Amino acid sequence: MFSFGQLIFGLCFFIAFVAVIIYSYKADKKNLPTYFKGSYKILLGFIVAFSLLVLIKYLTQK
């Protein structure tokens, strides 16, 4: 499906993207703490929704 080089690039891009997002989140959280109350619930919701999509995909494949 993907070549080895594409998988390596995708993994490196994902790691860099997550690092930038975490850095930005921490910086914004310091400056605007009232906007980030309960944000872990949103993250948990995304993780659950993504997990359900992956589960449905693997259960419906032959």
pLDDT, position 43: 87
As a whole number of angstroms, the distance between CA 55 and CA 39 comes to: 25
Contacts of 25 (CB under 8 A, 6+ apart): 36
pTM: 0.59
Q: What pLDDT score does 61 carry?
A: 87
What residue numbers bound the domain in which 29 lies? 4-60
Task: Quickly list H helices, the chain.
Answer: 4-31, 39-60
Chain segment 12-41, per-residue pLDDT in tens: 999 999 999 999 988 888 888 888 788 889
For residue 18, give the nearest of 28, 10, 30, 8 by alpha carbon.
10
Percentage above 90 pLDDT, the chain: 60
Q: Where is average pLDDT lowest: 20-24, 30-34, 50-54, 55-59?
A: 30-34
